[in-house]
Structures are given as C-alpha cells and as structure tokens.
Amino acid sequence: MNDDAAGARHDRLARWFGPDGLIIGIAIDHRDALLNAWQRRNHAPPERSAIEALKARAVRELAPDATLVLLDSEYGNAALRAGAVPPGIALVMPLEAQGYEAAGEQRVTALLSDFGPLDAARSGAAGCKLLLPYHPDDVASASLQDDVALSAIAACHDSGMPIVLEPIVYRLEAELSASFDARLAERVAATASHLATLGPDVLKLQFPAGTSDDAAACATLSRACGDVPWVLLGAGSDEDTFAVQVQSAVGAGAVGFIVGRTVWGGALVPDEAASANYLAEQAVPMFRRFARLARSALVA
C-alpha cells in the first residue's frame, strides 16, 4: 500500500466517526435477509422496484441521524442516484454476494463478482464491509474465511478504502442450542481476537451474550480486539434488548453500533404509506434513542 492509498484510507475512516468519536450506523445493505424477513411476514414476494423504494425511504429518514450508512450496490442504487445519503455521512458498501457458499457445514463468503473497492469509491463510498459467517472451532472453515478476509482487506487498503469485518459466529448442526449459547461470548471474543490480527479497520460484532455479567463480557471483547475498534451489530434484536446492549457495549469500550432490522424492520409492508409512516414515527425515534444511549454510556 502506497502513501497516497494510506492517506486516503485514513481520511475516509475518519468520516465514519462523529465529533464524539462514536460510529452511529444504520445498516440498510440487507438483500437476501431482507427478502426472508419480508416473506416471514406472509407478504407476497416484492418487486425489485419495491425493495429499491423501501431502501430509498429508509435512507432518507434515518441517514440524517447517522454518522455511517451501510447500503448495497444491488438494491441501493436508487437511493444513491436520488442523493438520499446526505453530504458528510459516510457511505459504506458491502463486498459479499448474497448468502454464502456451503461445503458441508462450512460457510464460505463469496465476494461480488462485479463490484469491488474501486467501484465503491466511484459510488462515493468511504469504505467497504465484509460479512463472514465464522466458527472459530471449525479450523478448516475458519481458514477459508481468513483467506477471503485477507483478500478483501488487501484489495480495500490498496484502493485507499477502510474495511469493517462482520463475523457472525454460527451454530454447527451437531451443537445443542444451549451449549452454543453458553459459549457464544467466548467464541465471539476468540473470533475478534484472531480477525483483529488480519488488519481490518473496524470489527462489527455480536453482543457477547451468555454470561452473567454483560459489562465484563463486553470488556473482555474490547481487550480481545486490541487496537482495532469494534461496534455492536443489531442482529434483529427487539428495541429494549438492543438499548441495554448498546449501553453495555459502549460503556465497556465499543466505539458505537451499526443496527439494521431492529430499527426499520417494521417498514417491511406492501403499503408504501404505512411503510413511510413507520419509518418517520417509530424507526427514527428508536434510532435516536440508541444514539442517545451510546453517547450517555460514552460519557459515563
């Protein structure tokens, strides 16, 4: 990486943070997850134009209160063309294709074949994101995901783009749910500790649930990340659960959060007026609540 690329990466990364040093992020980059959530609500499969319109509405309503917006190139271009992301708000775009390639139980992230860091930069993005289903105890799968992550990190940094890695620790079929839940905090920390050594600019992590002391678990996670800042992901939690998690995470060293369906999931309805009403009257106040809680936890 040359000096120009390093300088551009530094400047772009700085745009992710607000004046208080926090990332207040809204994730609207969902694709297959959005379609799955839509269908779980027993709605007919939406037209592509409906998804694009939904994303544009969500960006217009929520981006002004964010420091960072995650938005995809596949369904988010309508929002980008309309200028829905305000100037001064960092746009971050995903590099992963929808879903993942499976080899047995191994989950391997596939990169988009026609969109990379330079394409993101040309779209006005200030960085990229990579989703990584990850199981630290499955050595073969983790090694494959490490290779994907290293490739994406190198491509981003060579292009002067920062990158956030989003590992999602998942349960193997042979694992009992109770056993998985009991070890989740340990595995999230182990995953963060390892991936931090690969050179990402930010880690976007699950809440380390499953212990009796949330604050201590979050502090352990902060130590595991070392010098790499981390933000909390939403994971579709309900509002009050995520509110508590934000306070615990930021109070123990997280530099903010990036939340998605928790905030805008209620807008997944066919009626555009009802969708717009939900975003304005419920999603925006909810997002602002999370931002207030993060800032109060930082001060404390």
What tokens appear for 182 in the block? 């009991």
96-121 mean pLDDT = 80
What's the CA gap between 160 and 78, in Å, rounded? Answer: 25
Give the C-alpha distances (Å, rounded to integers) separating 26 from 61, 65, 189, 200: 11, 9, 23, 20
Q: How does DSSP assign 77-103, residue by residue? A: HHHHHTT-S-TTSEEEEE-BPSS-EEE
pLDDT at 255: 98
Predicted TM-score of the model (pTM): 0.94
Domains observed in the chain: 3-299 (3.20.20.70)
Q: Report pLDDT for 37.
A: 77
Of 101 and 266, more confident: 266
98 pLDDT more than 80: no
Name residues whose C-beta falls within 8 Å of residue 258's C-beta, 6 or more positions apart in sequence.
23, 25, 26, 27, 68, 70, 164, 204, 231, 232, 233, 234
pLDDT digits (tens, 9 = 90+) for 170-195: 988 888 888 888 999 999 999 999 99
- pLDDT tens digits, residue range 148-165? 999 999 999 999 999 999
- The answer to whether 290 and 250 have CB atoms below 8 angstroms apart is no
User: What was the pLDDT predicted at 103?
Assistant: 46
- What pLDDT, on a 0 to 100 scale, did the predictor assign at position 99? 59
